[in-house]
């Protein structure tokens, strides 16, 4: 596939281009239902809502939340019904005034050139959409006709205002901007500054920035209270940090956001073996900010299940300086590398710091051995023993 050539990141490829029919297929194991999907949609179904009338109290928001086919159908029917309603009113006015009787109409009709319901319907369209063909017009003969003309213009303006506002809000919705805010497919746990940290990468594909961007994280799991109450979706806020400190981030380039797993963290007792068996763990990440071009607040969300957290890995650098400017290689956005990491919980690491000291010593010797091997290959006349260097 293209992702193997580095053109498209592998985590962005949604479908397979070809499939080998001879390749054996394995049944995927059942996974717990996600509270928030990878694209940010909340996986919650609202059922048995008895008070449906509450949605009609806020008609505008209801229209904005509808799908495009339903919204366009409602607006089309609104125009057609209003045209037909006022066409009937104009036809009744002409009928009551005697303008429809052939050869017996008054010298000055209420509306000129109305002879049938079809002509009344055409005149209704001309009035509401302000199209004047010059064949039909209201005269000063009937005050009621002037009043109906004013009422239909007001109704037409209201329908147009609601339609234009709804279309603008649907096309400029905040979640549209969130489509270019991306998160790494996997999260990682590794040692940073001597502590185990939960890390993920976030980036913005657009050049227009997100102003006052903040990021927060929650752990969602099923818990039981001491009284025996089962809480299926217990949400716990946990602090996140970035390279400059604080919750506000300057998202001009992809950043690695991390959470220090300390005694106050709900991940304090999380071990590597739990990532394959801890099915009730879900970590939700929420990024909020103001769109620079429109001033609308947007929110991007994603989540990580237990099997989407990689223990003992770190994100590879993707920002490099080229020709006097910084460039970002998004083909490596979700790539990780293995790093030495204790296979224990953060609690065990705090109780026994010797595990971290041994890990630091082993990682310090690793590059030295590689360097000695490289020197031995380039200079075959001399041999350098790694034991003598250590």
State the pairing for strand pair 187-192/210-224: unpaired
Torsion sign over Cα 166, 171, 177, 179 = positive
In whole angstroms, give the CA distance from residue 214 to residue 244.
13
Question: In the chain, which stretches have pLDDT less than 70?
Answer: 1-32, 51-53, 55, 103-106, 174, 241-247, 278-279, 357-390
Closest CA to 124 of 91, 98, 76, 102: 91
Chain centroid to Cα 191, Å, comes to 30
Q: Can you list the domains of the chain with their CATH numbers?
A: 52-172 (1.10.287.70), 177-358 (2.60.40.1400)
DSSP-derived secondary structure letter, 247: S
Would you call 212 helix, strand, or coil by DSSP?
A: strand
Closest CA to 220 of 32, 346, 11: 32
Token pair 């949605």 in the structure block, residue: 55
Q: pLDDT value at position 362? A: 57
State the pairing for strand pair 187-192/309-311: parallel
Q: Concatenate the DSSP letters of all residues of 251-279 into one string.
A: TTS-EEEEEE--TTSTTTT--TTHHHH-T
Contact 114, 91 (CB under 8 A): yes
Q: Provide the token pair at 27.
A: 């049944």
Token pair 């994100």 in the structure block, residue: 315
Q: Taking the CA atoms of the chain, what radius of gyration do you get in angstroms?
A: 34
Q: pLDDT value at position 363? A: 60
Q: pLDDT value at position 83? A: 95
């Amino acid at each position: 596939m293209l992702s193997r050539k580095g053109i498209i990141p592998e985590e962005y490829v949604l479908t397979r281009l070809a499939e080998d029919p001879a390749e054996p297929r394995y049944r995927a194991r059942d996974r717990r239902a996600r509270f928030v999907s990878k694209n940010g949609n909340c996986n919650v179904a609202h059922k048995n809502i008895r008070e449906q009338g509450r949605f009609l109290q806020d008609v505008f928001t209801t229209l904005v939340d509808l799908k495009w086919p339903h919204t366009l159908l409602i607006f089309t029917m609104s125009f057609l019904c209003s045209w037909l309603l006022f066409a009937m009113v104009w036809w009744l006015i002409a009928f009551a005034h005697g303008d429809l009787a052939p050869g017996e109409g008054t010298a000055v009709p209420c509306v000129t050139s109305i002879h049938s319901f079809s002509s009344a319907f055409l005149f209704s369209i001309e009035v509401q959409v302000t199209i004047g063909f010059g064949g039909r017009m209201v005269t000063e003969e009937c005050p009621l006709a002037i009043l109906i003309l004013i009422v239909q213009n007001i109704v037409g303006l209201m329908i147009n205002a609601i339609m234009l506002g709804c279309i603008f809000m649907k096309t400029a919705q905040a979640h549209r901007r969130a489509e270019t805010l991306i998160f790494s497919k996997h999260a990682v746990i590794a040692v940073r500054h001597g502590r185990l940290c939960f890390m993920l990468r976030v980036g913005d594909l657009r050049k227009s920035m997100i102003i006052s961007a903040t990021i927060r994280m929650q752990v969602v799991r099923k818990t039981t209270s001491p009284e025996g109450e089962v809480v299926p979706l217990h949400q716990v806020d946990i602090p996140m940090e970035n390279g400059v400190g604080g919750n506000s981030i300057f998202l001009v380039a992809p950043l690695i956001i991390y959470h220090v797993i300390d005694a106050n963290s709900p991940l304090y007792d999380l071990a590597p073996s739990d990532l394959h068996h801890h099915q009730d763990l879900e970590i939700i990440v929420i990024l909020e900010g103001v769109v620079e071009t429109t001033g609308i607040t947007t929110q991007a969300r994603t989540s990580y299940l237990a099997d989407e957290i990689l223990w003992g890995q770190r994100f590879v650098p993707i920002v490099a300086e080229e020709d006097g400017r910084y460039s970002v290689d998004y083909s490596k956005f979700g790539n990780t590398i293995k790093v030495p990491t204790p296979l224990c919980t953060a609690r065990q690491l705090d109780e026994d710091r010797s595990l971290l000291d041994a890990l630091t010593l082993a990682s310090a010797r690793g590059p030295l051995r590689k360097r000695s091997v490289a020197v031995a290959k380039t200079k075959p006349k001399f041999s350098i023993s790694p034991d003598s260097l250590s």
